[in-house]
Amino acid sequence: MSRNEQALPPSSSGRVLAAGAGLLALAAASYALSFVRLGALGLGLALAIAVLKALVVLWVFMQFGRLPASAKLAALAAFFMLALMLSLMAADIELREPAPAEPPAAAPTPSP
Amino acid sequence: MNGARHAAHFESLAQQDHATRLGMWVFLGSELLLFAGLFALYAAGRIAHPAAFHEGVAHAEKSIGSLNTAVLLTSSTTVALAVESLRRDRRALSIALLAVTIALGATFFGLKLTEYGAHFRAGIYPGGAGNFFTSHAAPGLPLFWTLYFVTTGLHAAHVCVGLGVLGLTAQAVARGKIGGERAYVLENAALYWHLVDLIWIFLWPLYYLA
């Protein structure tokens, strides 16, 4: 049996519980920060906490680090496609030329 | 090697385990790209109409959305514990944890319906329809609420599918069709539930918090 075909061994339930408690703590921090006036920084902080939570879910619950190489490659390919799509969209918004001004409405023709 | 049987086209149960896990991750990748389009639309809308999106977030049901976050994160923890229990062949505990996960998922869906009801009563409908938009005429606000209903609605549909998958898997565990040596079946169902959780982790700050 190759290494990639071996079933995942059980991990510690205590680790899973600790991850769950950490996720709830991060969510509470995000909720508390939403009441502080931080302007644009507020969204950045909320998304940074979301990325942290996503990494906990990926690493502890979904056991990404213990996956066979082929499954890791599939996940990374999806992530690469996502990054490519978002980068191209951002580039489009940043580099798009402003829409031409609307032509002035034609003056009404005087009635005879 | 063990008592469980594998499909005829696999050489061993371990090979079947590996193939199903790979297939599941490819599927999760396609699901991620489905939601990525909606996230990209949100980003473009927010860049074009920052004030309207901020106003939209201010009218969101923050308390219900936040409660739902706690519910979903807890359910992700319980389903991960259910997988660990089954890997140790503790089937009764695994079934109990799956029942808790399903109850939490149903709670999430119920709260989501309550939230939609509150928005409908306030005159907020997809497409900028409803009385709300006559008194709140900021350009970009209809786009925010349309994206809100489409994205959270698609996510809620995934919650329903996840509940069905977890229910069927729990039934198979209870009937003894899935035990410790075939824990990968439950593991794949749990992966789907974790993806639902991952999507919500990003929806919550974008539509409810900031």
Of the candidates B25, B81, B210, the beta carbon closest to that of A43 is on B210
Residues A76, A51 share a domain: no
DSSP chain B: --S----TTSSSHHHHHHHHHHHHHHHHHHHHHHHHHHHHHHHHHHHH-HHHHHHHHHTS-HHHHHHHHHHHHHHHHHHHHHHHHHHTT-HHHHHHHHHHHHHHHHHHHHHHHHHHHHHHHTT--GGG-STHHHH---TTHHHHHHHHHHHHHHHHHHHHHHHHHHHHHHHHHHTTSS-GGGHHHHHHHHHHHHHHHHHHHHHHIIIII-
Residues A72, A58 share a domain: no
Q: Which pLDDT does position A97 carry in this prediction?
A: 77
Chain B positions in Cβ-Cβ contact with residue A24 (cut-off 8 Å): 70, 73-74
Residues A75, A52 share a domain: no
Burial group, residue B71, by CB count within 10 angstroms (0-12, 13-18, 19+): buried
End-to-end CA, chain A: 95
pLDDT tens-digit map of A11-37: 688 999 999 999 999 999 999 999 998
Q: Which pLDDT does position A108 carry in this prediction?
A: 64
Residue A46 lies in a domain: yes
Residue A52 lies in a domain: yes
Q: Are A24 and B74 a contacting pair at CB < 8 A?
A: yes
Residue A6 lies in a domain: no
Beta-carbon contacts of residue B56 (< 8 Å; ≥ 6 apart)? B141, B144, B145, B148, B207
**Interface with B, mutate which of A2, A11, A23 (most B CBs under 10 A):** A23
The CATH number of B11-209 is 1.20.120.80
Interface list for A 45-104 with B (CB within 8 A): 45-47, 49-50, 53-54, 57-58, 60-62, 67-68, 70-71, 74-75, 77-79, 81-82, 85-86, 89-90, 93
Note down the domain range covering A44. 11-62
Amino acid found at A48: A
Of the candidates B24, B32, B84, the beta carbon closest to that of A82 is on B32
Residues A50, A20 share a domain: yes
ipTM confidence score:
0.91
Q: Phi and psi dihedrals of B176, rounded to 5?
A: 80, 10
What distance in Å separates the CA atoms of residue A79 and residue A76, rounded to the nearest whole number? 5
For residues A75-96, one letter each, b for 16 or more C-beta atoms within 10 angstroms of the residue's C-beta and e for the rest, the string is beebeeebeeeeeebeeeeeee
Residue A108 lies in a domain: no
Tokens of A96: 């798009």
Q: If you count residue pairs, one on A and one on B, with CB atoms under 8 Å apart, how many are there? A: 145
Residues A84, A44 share a domain: no
Q: Are B84 and A20 a contacting pair at CB < 8 A?
A: no
Of the candidates A24, A47, A57, the beta carbon closest to that of B70 is on A24
Residues A74, A51 share a domain: no
Residue A104 lies in a domain: no
Beta-carbon contacts of residue B168 (< 8 Å; ≥ 6 apart)? none
Q: Which pLDDT does position A4 carry in this prediction?
A: 46
Contacts 24+ apart (CB under 8 A), A34-39: A34/B62, A34/B208, A34/B209, A34/B210, A38/B210
Residues A18, A38 share a domain: yes
Residue A110 lies in a domain: no
Per domain, the residue ranges of chain B are 11-209
pLDDT tens-digit map of A46-101: 999 999 999 999 999 999 998 989 999 999 999 998 889 888 888 888 888 777 77
Q: What is the pLDDT along chain B (210 residues), one digit of tens a residue?
A: 445 677 788 888 788 888 888 999 999 999 999 999 999 999 999 988 999 999 999 999 999 999 999 999 999 999 999 999 999 999 999 999 999 999 999 999 999 999 999 999 999 999 989 999 999 988 999 999 999 999 999 999 999 999 999 999 999 999 999 887 888 899 999 999 999 999 999 999 999 998
Residues A58, A15 share a domain: yes
Total count of domains within chain A: 2
pTM above 0.90, yes or no: no
What distance in Å separates the CA atoms of residue A57 and residue B76, rounded to the nearest whole number? 8
What distance in Å separates the CA atoms of residue A3 and residue A5, rounded to the nearest whole number? 5
What distance in Å separates the CA atoms of residue A51 and residue B62, rounded to the nearest whole number? 20
Residue A102 lies in a domain: no
Residues A37, A74 share a domain: no
Residues A35, A72 share a domain: no
